[in-house]
Amino acid sequence: GAGVSQSPSNKVTEKGKDVELRCDPISGHTALYWYRQSLGQGLEFLIYFQGNSAPDKSGLPSDRFSAERTGGSVSTLTIQRTQQEDSAVYLCASSFHGTSGQETQYFGPGTRLLVL
C-alpha cells in the first residue's frame, strides 16, 4: 500500500476484555515495529519483527501482550485482560530491512486505545 495502515483508529473497551490491533505495513518492508505512546511521553518500544520472526520481544510490558506477523506482512498486537494503564496510542512502523544502515521507519496513524 501507499503507507502504513492501522485499524481500528480508535478503540474503547472495558477493563478485562481482550483487544486486537492490526497493522498493515508498506508493501515490501520486511521490518515491522510496535510502539506505545502515552500522553506527553516518548515512544515506548514494544516488539520488532524481521519477516515473521520477532527477534526482540523485550519491550512487551507483560505476558498479557502478544504479537504475531504472518506472511511477512500484516501484524496483530493482542492485549488480553486489558487494564486501564494500557490506555495509550499504539503505533506501528515499518522499514525496508531493519538490519543495518539508515532504514527510516515509517509510521501508521496509530490506534487510540481507551480502557474504561
Which residues of this chain interact with another protein, rule CB under 8 A? 4, 31, 33, 35, 40-45, 48, 50, 56, 91, 95, 98-100, 102-110
CA nearest to 77, candidates 94, 64, 58: 64
Nearer to another protein, 45 or 80 (CB): 45
Select 80 or 109, whichever has its Cβ closest to another protein. Answer: 109
Taking the complex as a whole, how short is the minimal distance between the CB of residue 85 and another protein, in angstroms?
A: 18
DSSP string covering 74-115: -EEEEE-S--GGG-EEEEEEEES--SSS----EE---EEEEE
